Structure 1
Amino acid sequence: MTNSIHEPAHDLALQARTHDPDQVEAADAQLTPVASAMALVADELVEVEARLGELLHSTVAIIPRVGGHLTFAGGKRFRPVTTLLAAQAARYRSDKRITVAAAAELLHTATLLHDDVIDEGEFRRGRPAAHLRYGNGLAVLTGDYCYARALQAVAYLGEPRAIQTMADAVTQMAEGEVAQLHVAGEWDLNRERYYMVIERKTAALIAWSSAVAHLIEPRHAEALARYGREVGYAFQIADDIIDYSLELRDSGKARGQDLREGKTTLPLILACEYRPALRTRLEAMLRQGPPVDEAELAELLDRVIAAGGLDGARRSAQAHVDAAIEALAALPRSPARGALEDLARYIVRRTG
C-alpha cells in the first residue's frame, strides 16, 4: 500500500483483528516494511495511543488541542514502533515499554512544534503547522509541555537508569538544535560538524527509543542503542537526500528547503568535495542572505545531483544501515528482529 505508512496505529490493529489469517498473510506481502512492522505491534500501539492521550491531557484545555493537532495527525510512529519491536526482540514484556514508547513520540512532537516555529514551516503531516493556527507562543509552550510530560512519565516509572538516559538524550537533542541553527548559512560546514548535529538532533532520541530507555538487559540495550544511533544517521541522511530530489514532500516541504534555510547537508558537502568549484557558488549564494534567488537555487540543486552528491550520501546512509543490522546480531533471531532489519533497509530504499 503506497500510503499505509501514514495509517494510524488503531487502524492497523483493527485490520489485524478483523481479517482472517490467510487474508492478513496475503495483505502483509503488499505492505511496506514500516506498515508490516506496525502490524506486528499493532495491539501495543493502541495502548501507546491511549497513553499519549493521557500524557497530553491537561486542565488547561488549549494544551491538548495544540498538542493533539500534531500528535494525532497521522504520523508514522517510527520511534514507538522501534521501541516496541526492540522490546519484543529483547523479550522485555513489562508494561513500562508502553510509557517509554509514548514518551519517545511526545519528545519527537515537542521537537516538531519547536522546529516549525524556528523554520517558519507552513505544513506538517498534511495540515497547517500548529503555530499558524494557534500562534508561535502557544506552539512553543505546548512543545515545552510535551517535553515536561514525557520526562514526568518516565520519572514516575521509578527506574533511575531510564530517566538518566532520557535526560542525556534530551540534552543532546537541545545541543543539536542549537548547533544546527548556529551554523545555518556557514558555507564551510564539514562532515564532522554535520555528523555532530545529526547525532544529537536525530540519532540520540532514536537510540534511546530502540534501547527501550535502557530498561532491558544491558548487553541487549547496548546493541539496540547502537542500532538506533546508526538508523538515526541513515534516517537523517535519507531525509536530506529527499530534500534535493523531490519537488514536494508529504509534509509540504518544497525541494531544496534545507539549503533555502542555509542548512548545508551531506549531499551538498559531498558534492563540494567531489567538485570544489561548487563551494564558490554556494558561498556566493549564502552570503547574499535570504531570500535566496530561486533560479540560482534550482541550478545549484541540479549541480549537486550531477556531481554525485546524492549518490555519495546514499552510500553513506547504506553504510549506516549495514552497521545497524550488524548490531542486531547480538539479539536472538525473531520476527521483531527481522522487522527492525527491514525497517533499517527501507530507510535507504525510500530515497531511490
Structure 2
Amino acid sequence: MSAKPHEALAKMLADDMAAVNDVIRTRMASEHAPRIPEVTAHLVEAGGKRIRPLMTLAAARLCGYEGAHHVSLAATVEFIHTATLLHDDVVDESDQRRGRPTANLLWDNQSSVLVGDYLFARAFQLMVSTGNLRVLDILSNAAATIAEGEVLQLTVARNISTSEETYLKVVRGKTAALFSAATEVGGVIAGAEEDVVRGLFDYGDALGIAFQMADDLLDWQGDAGAIGKNVGDDFREGKLTLPIIKAIAKGGAADRDFWARTIGKGKVEDGDLEHAHALLTRHGALAETRQAALDWSAKARMALEVAPEHALTSELQDLADYVVARLN
C-alpha cells in the first residue's frame, strides 16, 4: 500500500487537479467585495489535502470519463466543504484550523458566515453548469444533509443520553454526506452503470464514517504533532464522541455523574482527563471504537469491488485503509 494514498491520487490526477484549482481561483474572485477572495484564499490555500475533490476526479476517471464536467464538480465539492468549515468555526467559536488562525478570528463572524454563503452560491452555479439534473439533485441534497447534521449536532451537544444511532446520524450528515456525494457524482457524470454508482456512494459513506470514528479515537491516543491538536481536546471542549457514548452506556451511576459534570456541564477539573481515559479503557470503549472504524473501512473497500479495475480504484481502496492506519 502506498504510504499516503491521497498523495498518490494527487500525483495521478495532477492535471485535473490543476484545472480544479484554476476554477476555484476564478470563482472565488469578487469584483465588488475584496474581502471574499481574502477570506476564501486564507482557507483554500491553507494546505488541506483536497481529498474530497480528488475523490470526485478519481471516481469519474476510473469510470472512463473523458469530458471536463468532473473538474467543475470537484470544485463544487471543495466549495461546499470550505463553506461548511467557515460556518463550523463560527458555531464552534474556533480560533485555529490546520494550525493557522481561523477566518472568524482574523476577520469576524459576520465575514465568515457571509463568505460561506457566497461559496455555497458559487457551488450551485458550478453544479448547474454541468447541465445534469441528477448531479444537481445529489449535491443539493448533500448540502441540505450537511446543514441538517450540523443542527442535529447542536441540539444533542452535551446531552449524555445521546445514542450511537444519533451519533451515526450526525456523522452521516456532517462528514459522510459530502464524501458519498463526491464519489457518486463522479460516477454519474461518467454515465457509469447503476451498481457502480451505488458502490461509489457506499464507498464515500463508509469512508466518511471510518474517518470520523478514527478522528474520535485519535483525540484519546493520537500523537499531538500528527493530528494537529492536543490529546484530549475533544473532551475538554465537551464533545460527545463515540468512545464517550460507549463508555456512558456501560458505566454505573458514579460514572454517569462524572460524565454529566464534565461533558454535560463542561466543568473539567485537574485529573479529569486521566480519569476519563481510565473509564474508556475499563469499559473497552477505545477498543470498540477502533474496531468500528476498521469495520467501516472494510465496508468502504468492499463497496469498490463493483468498480472497474483501474489504478485509481486501487488507490481509493488504499485510502480507506489509510484513514484507519493512523490508529496503529
- TM superposition score normalised by structure 1: 0.86
Shift in Å, 1:76 = 0.6
CA distance in 2, matches of 1:167, 1:186: 30
CA–CA distance in 2 between the matches of 1:250 and 1:69?
Answer: 22
CA deviation map 1:287-309 (0-9, x unaligned): 4x235325323421343244332
Is residue 81 of structure 2 the alignment partner of residue 108 of structure 1?
yes
Matches within 5 A, 1:285-300: 285-287=262-264, 289-290=265-266, 292-300=268-276
- What corresponds to 1:124 in structure 2? 97
What is the SS of the residue equivalent to 1:211?
Answer: helix
The residue that corresponds to 1:146 in the other structure is 119
CA displacement 1:27-74 (0-9 Å, x = unmatched): xx8742221222111221111111111121111111010011011110
Structure 1 unaligned blocks of 5 or more = 1-28
1:256 maps to which of 232, 235, 250:
232
Shift of 1:100: 0.8
1:51 aligned onto 2:23: yes
Residue aligning to 2:260: 283
Gaps of 5+ in 2: none
The match for 1:241 is: 217
**2:48 matched to 1:75?**
yes
TM-aligned CA deviation for residue 133 of structure 1:
0.4
Residue deviations 1:187-206 (CA, integer Å, cap 9, x gap): 11111000010011111110
Comparing 249-258 with 299-308, greater Cα deviation is found at 249-258
2-side partners of 1:72 and 1:256: how far apart? 28
CA-to-aligned-CA distance 1:58-113 (integer Å, 9 cap, x gap): 11111010011011110010101111111122112221101111111111111111
Equivalent residue letter for 2:23 = R
Counterpart AA for 1:58: S
Tell me the amino acid that sits aligned with residue 46 of structure 2: A
Q: Does the 8 A contact of 1:123 with 1:252 survive in 2?
A: no
Indicate if the aligned counterparts of 1:57 and 1:63 stay in contact, CA closer than 8 A: yes
1:175 aligns with 2:151: no
Tell me, yes or no, if the aligned pair for 1:85 and 1:339 is still in contact at 8 Å: no
Counterpart position of 1:326: 302
Code of the aligned partner of 1:344: A
Task: Report matched runs for 1:1-352 at 5 Å.
Answer: 31-59=3-31, 60-212=33-185, 214-216=188-190, 217=192, 218-246=194-222, 248=224, 252-276=228-252, 278-287=255-264, 289-290=265-266, 292-352=268-328
Cα displacement string for residues 284-342 of structure 1 (whole angstroms, at most 9, x for unaligned residues): 3234x235325323421343244332221111111111111111111121101000000
Instruction: State how far apart, in whole Å, the 1-side matches of 2:160 and 2:303 are.
Output: 35
Distance, in Å, in 2 between the alignment partners of 1:100 and 1:125 is 24
Cα separation, 2, equivalents of 1:166 and 1:175:
14
Distance 1:46 1:310 in 2: 40
Work out the CA distance in 2 between the residues paired with 1:286 and 1:351: 24
The alpha-carbon deviation at position 180 of structure 1 amounts to 0.5
SS of equivalent to 2:202: helix
Percent of aligned pairs with the same residue? Answer: 37
Number of residue equivalences: 323
Q: CA RMSD in A?
A: 1.9
Which letter maps to 2:122? R
Alpha-carbon distance between aligned partners in 2 of 1:147 and 1:104, rounded to the nearest angstrom: 10
C-alpha deviation, 1:168, in angstroms? 0.7
SS in 1 for 2:224: coil
Contact 1:86–1:210 (CA under 8 A) maintained in structure 2: yes
Relative to structure 1, the CA distance from residue 304 to residue 310 in structure 2 (aligned partners, 3 Å threshold; closer, same or farther) is same
Cα separation, 1, equivalents of 2:227 and 2:88: 13
Q: Which amino acid aligns with 1:103?
A: T
More deviation in 215-224 or 233-242?
A: 215-224
Taking a change above 3 Å as real, the CA distance of residues 247 and 350 of structure 1, as seen in their structure-2 partners, is closer
- How far apart are 1:152 and its partner, in Å? 1.3
Alignment-derived partner of residue 23 in structure 1: none
Q: Distance in 2 between matches of 1:247 and 1:294?
A: 21
- The residue identity in structure 1 corresponding to 2:11 is A
TM-score, scaled relative to structure 2:
0.92
Q: Which moved more, 1:32-41 or 1:144-153?
A: 32-41
Distance 2:298 2:227 in 1: 28
Taking CA–CA contacts closer than 8 Å with sequence separation of 6 or more, which of the two structures ends up with the larger relative contact order? 2
- CA separation in 2, counterparts of 1:74 and 1:168? 28
Runs of 4+ displaced beyond 6 Å: none
